[in-house]
């Protein structure tokens, strides 16, 4: 028997996540599809990694000292990761979010001890937008640092130094393709750079949801969004600092219906309860696997990210009324 890992600090529970072979996706692709279990992080998402690297980077730069404050504009997983990391290291967390966000998200962040600042929803060009508000608040608060996850490349470093190295070791240096969707772009850029450093021949594919502009950017050189998506945490309309220089070889565009179909199959057939970005990633991994097999790589091995737990979406993705209101297919066991 292999002894399960032992950690001397809760912060060391971030990363070193298991990798699981996904049976249904592998059969659909005709080759091995592996999922990196990021829901196994303490905050139940991939963003714990970025939170830890951003905080450690701020400490190293001398921007964050004992008793300091971390400010971020986010409604999602990054806020959860930052709140947990801040608690473990003795910092305060201030999260700025639009007041239109779900009650569930506000309650979650408050439960973890983050201080919430709610602002009216506004376009990005408006100085009152929650991201700009969070930057100003950080500037005005003594001892505060702005996390700035989109353009702070400590985010992608978490994946160059962490996720990519883990994947390379877990797959014993035999990995043909990697794909995932982009929110900040930290994961796709960081894992892509980290894997390419080991083997230039690994195919790095961006999987884009509808309503995002990156598919057209990598396919045609033009940032242009088409359609829309209800997926949370992914869908980017600009080249963030984290995305700059990302080694993207190819790209897929995946609909919410395809992503939801995989969320349903992974739950029902494999007992994995995941969010929609994971379903979209798996759909992209199947597309990449098929493309590699069609190119003659019959024993291809593809990896993707299982970003967060589905338990975070009980009032949306796993709620019949919500699915119906969005015109999405209701899981048969909820109908």
Task: Catalogue the active-site residues.
Answer: 47
How many residues lie near ligand PMP (CB under 6 A)?
A: 18
- Name which position in 25, 68, 162, 233 contacts ligand PMP (CB under 6 A): 233
Contact between 17 and ligand PMP by CB under 6 A: the answer reads: no
Written as six digits, the tokens of 72 are 């971020």
Shortest approach of ligand PMP to residue 45 CB, angstroms? Answer: 6
Record the tokens describing residue 130, joined without a space: 């929650």
Q: Which of 185, 259, 279, 310 touches ligand PMP by CB under 6 A? A: 185
Does the protein bind ligand PMP through residue 75 (CB under 6 A)? Answer: no
By CB under 6 A, residue 187 contacts ligand PMP = yes
Among 147, 184, 207, 229, binds ligand PMP (CB under 6 A): 184
Residue 29 or 54 with smaller CB distance to ligand PMP? 54
274, 307, 317, 323: residue in contact with ligand PMP (rule CB under 6 A)? 307
79, 275, 289, 310: which one contacts ligand PMP (CB under 6 A)?
275
Question: 104: helix, coil or strand?
Answer: helix
Give CA torsion, residues 18, 19, 21, 22, to 10 deg: 90
| Residue whose pair of structure tokens reads 């393709």 in the numeric block | 177
- Rounded to whole angstroms, the Cα distance separating 81 from 2 reads 29
Query: Following DSSP, what letter does each residue of 160-229 receive, concatenated?
Result: IIIIHHHHHHHTTT---EEEE--SSSHHHHHHHHHHHHH-TTSEEEEEEETT-SHHHHHHHS-----S--
Cα(185)–Cα(187) distance, integer angstroms: 6
- What is the rounded distance in angstroms from the CA atom of residue 82 to the CA atom of residue 193? 24
Tokens 């991994």 belong to residue: 285
Q: Which residue among 76, 79, 162, 264 contacts ligand PMP (CB under 6 A)? A: 76
**Closer CB to ligand PMP, 68 or 185, in the complex:** 185
CB of 298 to ligand PMP, least distance (A): 30
Query: Is residue 212 within the footprint of ligand PMP (CB under 6 A)?
Result: no
Residue 48 touches ligand PMP, criterion: CB under 6 A:
no
User: Which residue, 86 or 214, is less far from ligand PMP as judged by CB?
Assistant: 214
SS percent in the chain: helix, strand, coil, step 5: 45, 15, 40
Contact residues toward ligand PMP (CB under 6 A) are 45-47, 76-77, 182-187, 232-234, 275, 277, 307-308
């Amino acid at each position: 028997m292999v002894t399960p890992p032992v950690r001397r600090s809760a912060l060391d529970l971030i990363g070193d996540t298991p990798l699981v072979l996904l049976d249904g996706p592998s059969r659909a692709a005709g080759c091995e599809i592996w999922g990196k279990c990021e829901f196994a992080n303490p905050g139940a998402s991939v963003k714990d990694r970025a939170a830890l690297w951003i905080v450690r980077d701020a400490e190293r730069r001398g921007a964050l000292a004992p008793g300091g404050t971390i400010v971020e504009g986010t409604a999602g997983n990054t806020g959860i990761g930052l709140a947990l990391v801040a608690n473990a290291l003795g910092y305060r967390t201030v999260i700025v979010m639009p007041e239109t966000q779900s009650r569930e998200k506000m309650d979650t962040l408050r439960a973890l001890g983050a201080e919430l600042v709610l602002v009216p929803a506004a376009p990005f060009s408006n100085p009152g937008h929650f991201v700009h508000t969070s930057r100003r608040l950080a500037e005005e608060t003594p001892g505060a640092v702005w996390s700035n996850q989109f353009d702070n490349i400590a985010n992608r470093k978490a994946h160059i130094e962490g996720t990519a190295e883990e994947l390379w070791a877990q797959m014993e240096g035999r990995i043909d393709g990697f794909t995932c969707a982009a929110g900040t772009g930290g994961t796709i850029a960081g894992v892509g750079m980290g894997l390419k450093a080991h083997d230039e021949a690994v195919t790095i594919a961006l999987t884009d949801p509808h309503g995002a502009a990156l598919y057209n950017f990598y396919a045609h050189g033009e940032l242009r969004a088409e359609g829309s998506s209800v997926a949370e945490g992914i869908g980017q309309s600009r080249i963030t600092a984290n995305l700059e220089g990302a080694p993207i070889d190819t790209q897929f565009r995946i609909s919410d219906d395809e992503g939801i179909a995989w969320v349903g199959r992974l739950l029902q057939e494999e007992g994995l309860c995941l969010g929609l970005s994971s379903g979209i990633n798996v759909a992209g991994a199947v597309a990449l696997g098929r493309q590699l097999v069609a190119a003659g790589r019959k024993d291809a091995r593809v990896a993707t990210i299982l970003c967060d737990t589905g338990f975070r979406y009980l009032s949306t993705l796993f709620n019949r009324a919500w699915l119906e209101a969005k015109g999405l297919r209701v899981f048969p066991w909820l109908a």
